[in-house]
């Protein structure tokens, strides 16, 4: 980007019209043959998959799914950590005409069953290690269970899908890519229980093309080597990691989870040029750098930060310690997810900003009455563009609450500076973010209220120095319960058996009453005052 140029973006990497994700991915694979597409570090030794091998695996798995009875439009659960099998399963499901719904591999039974039952999934691709303590009995539509590395009773090996089946005909997309459902990730949106986000092929292809910003400093290309420890079940890792890397011909290095020491070793050994990060990972890297554990010899050109607010102090600290610039971004599952990207050009470099909108994304900043605020003023960010979802799965009221006349109402309060770059100054009204994971207070409260000793409760977050939000519960006990550390441990254990660990409140405070409005809505701002 040249000096003095506007922050307004107008160019896409390519034209997304009429394109389907799996077709674009496979076209990229056929162009690049023996170049390494994926490095899966969860295997020992790391498994390296070329673009040609990836295309072959996807097509084989797609034919295997069709042979198993998968039909166009069926939903398939993918309940896996980052791995080569995750990517193959995701794109093969699409090639078979199905709709993959990605699931957090730390989910407990109630969460797994809720998502599979809500979207009427007919098949699940997982690993036996993830099914301990989870019963899938009684799910009305589930017909097939495939496991990748460790098998269990009732499952079929994922490898059984990878045998040659030349006689199986794969379906041809019969819908406009703007209407054809591509994937169904679940998100809590701004409030409530998780809802399926209906993303089309056009949504995701357009968003990849919006994120591959032509001509900008740091633009990703087939020379990039991208480290992804962010979970690919999450839309950030799925679009900006898996799909973007394969489509632009980069090499994607996968870790099943974040490990600071391990990731720094991989950055050095694999020649990583860009890492997808969240603020807690950047904080861990700061600690490593202060202990002289950040590699002196590396090829890391920049890191991307997203999924949670990045505090200006943490950004400055990381850059000063490592010399590596940060490119912050902003988005949400409902937007596939990217709506804004920062700049690496020195003239426009503001790591504390989420940057400017990506191409074809219109933004407004409005007051409580929906009127545009004055330049520089604070207001809610509302947006529209080709990356925004069709709506929430079987939830028309929730859809209507956020999609109004083609505009998506984010619930986030922002301001815009004189260069046109955006700053998120307040979180969504209800949601909290803990280490990059979205937590819906209503979901946590519903589980708390199942505990026989809990009469009432409210969940809010404590904002930490690094900007992370620690989930905390205020609990009114029944008269028969005692306010003791043992009771706290009992409640926390109860939650841990029913929810992913990141959703379990880190603090439990016993109180005599939960402040509420006359209509019964929890006054969360009053709860926060109790800190």
Q: What is the 3-state secondary structure (H, E, C) of 336-365?
A: CCEEEECCCCCCCCCCCCCEEECCCCEEEE
Q: Which residue has the tokens 């058996």?
A: 497
On whether residue 510 sits in a domain, the answer given is: yes
Task: Examine residue 521 and state whether it is found in any structural domain, yes or no.
Answer: yes
Would residue 509 count as lying in a domain? yes
Q: Is 178 helix (H, G, I), strand (E, B) or coil?
A: coil
Q: Would you state the pLDDT for residue 439?
A: 84
User: Strand, coil or helix: what is 234?
Assistant: coil
Indicate whether 459 belongs to any domain: yes
Q: Is the residue at 449 inside a domain?
A: yes
Under 8 Å between Cβ of 153 and 136: no
Q: Which domain holds residue 453?
A: 432-529
- For the chain, list residues with pLDDT below 50: 1-4
- CATH number for position 441: 3.30.300.30
Q: Is 93 in contact with 23 (CB distance < 8 Å)? A: no
Secondary structure (3-state) at 195: strand
Is 162 among the domain residues?
A: no
Residue-by-residue DSSP string for 100-159:
EEE--TT--HHHHHHHHHHTT-SEEEE-GGG-TT---TT-SS--EEEESSS--TT-EEGG
Distance CA 21, CA 237 (A): 15
Give pLDDT tens digits for 24-53.
999 999 999 999 999 999 999 999 999 999
* Number of CB atoms found within 10 A of residue 505's CB: 26
Helical (H) or strand (E) element with 509: strand 507-510
Joined together, the tokens standing for residue 348 give 């426009």
271/282 Cα distance (integer angstroms):
19
Terminal alpha carbon distance of the chain: 46
Query: Would residue 486 count as lying in a domain?
Result: yes
What does pTM read for this prediction?
0.88
Flag whether 145 is in a domain: no
Number of independent structural domains in the chain? 1
Whole-number pLDDT of residue 189:
60
Determine the angle formed by the axes of helices 441-448 and 485-496, rounding to 10 degrees. Answer: 110
Query: CB of 195 within 8 A of CB of 187?
Result: yes
Instruction: Provide the pLDDT for residue 442.
Output: 79
């Amino acid at each position: 980007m040249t000096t003095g140029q506007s922050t307004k973006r107008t160019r896409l990497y390519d034209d997304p019209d009429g394109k389907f994700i799996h077709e674009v991915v496979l076209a990229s694979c056929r162009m690049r043959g023996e170049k390494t597409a994926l490095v899966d570090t969860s295997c020992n030794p790391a498994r390296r998959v070329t673009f040609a091998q990836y295309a072959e695996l996807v097509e084989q798995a797609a034919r295997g799914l069709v042979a198993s009875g998968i039909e166009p439009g069926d939903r398939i659960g993918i309940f896996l950590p980052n791995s080569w099998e995750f990517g193959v399963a995701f794109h093969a499901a699409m090639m078979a005409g199905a709709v993959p719904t990605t699931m957090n591999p730390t989910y407990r039974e109630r969460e797994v069953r809720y998502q599979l039952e809500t979207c009427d999934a007919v098949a699940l691709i997982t690993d036996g290690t993830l099914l301990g303590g989870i019963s899938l009995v009684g799910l009305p539509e589930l017909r097939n269970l495939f496991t990748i590395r460790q098998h269990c009773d009732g499952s079929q090996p994922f490898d059984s899908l990878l045998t040659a089946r030349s006689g199986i005909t794969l379906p041809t997309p019969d819908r406009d890519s703007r209407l054809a459902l591509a994937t169904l990730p679940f998100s809590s949106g701004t409030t409530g229980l998780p809802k399926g986000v209906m993303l089309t092929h056009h949504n995701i292809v357009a968003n990849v093309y919006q994120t591959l910003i032509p001509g900008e400093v740091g633009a990703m290309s087939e020379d990039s080597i991208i480290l992804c420890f962010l979970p690919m079940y999450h839309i950030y890792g799925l679009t900006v990691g898996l799909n973007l890397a394969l489509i632009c011909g980069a090499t994607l290095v996968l870790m099943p989870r974040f490990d600071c020491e391990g990731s720094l070793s991989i950055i050095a050994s694999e020649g990583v040029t860009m890492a997808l990060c969240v603020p807690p990972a950047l904080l861990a890297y700061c600690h490593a750098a202060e202990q002289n554990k950040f590699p002196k010899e590396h090829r890391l050109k920049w890191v991307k930060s997203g999924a949670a607010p990045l505090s200006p102090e943490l950004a400055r600290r990381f850059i000063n310690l490592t010399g590596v610039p940060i490119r912050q971004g902003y988005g949400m599952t409902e937007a596939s997810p990217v709506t804004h990207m920062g700049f690496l050009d020195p003239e426009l470099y503001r790591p504390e900003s989420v940057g400017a909108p990506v191409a074809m994304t219109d933004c407004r900043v409005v007051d409580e009455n929906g009127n545009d605020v004055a330049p520089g003023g604070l207001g809610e960010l509302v947006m529209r563009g080709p990356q925004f979802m069709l709506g929430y799965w079987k939830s028309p009221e929730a859809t209507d609450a956020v999609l109004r006349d083609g505009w998506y109402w984010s619930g986030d309060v922002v301001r815009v500076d004189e260069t046109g770059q955006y700053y998120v100054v307040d979180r969504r009204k209800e949601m909290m973010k803990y280490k990059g994971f979205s937590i819906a207070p209503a979901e946590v409260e519903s589980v708390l209220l199942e505990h026989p000793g809990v009469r009432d409760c409210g969940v809010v977050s404590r904002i930490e120095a690094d900007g992370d939000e620690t989930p905390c519960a205020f609990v009114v006990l029944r008269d028969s319960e005692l306010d003791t550390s043992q009771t706290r441990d009992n409640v926390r254990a109860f939650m841990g058996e029913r929810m992913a660990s990141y959703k379990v409140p880190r603090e439990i405070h016993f109180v005599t009453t939960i402040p509420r409005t006359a209509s019964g809505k929890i006054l969360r701002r009053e709860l926060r005052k109790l800190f």
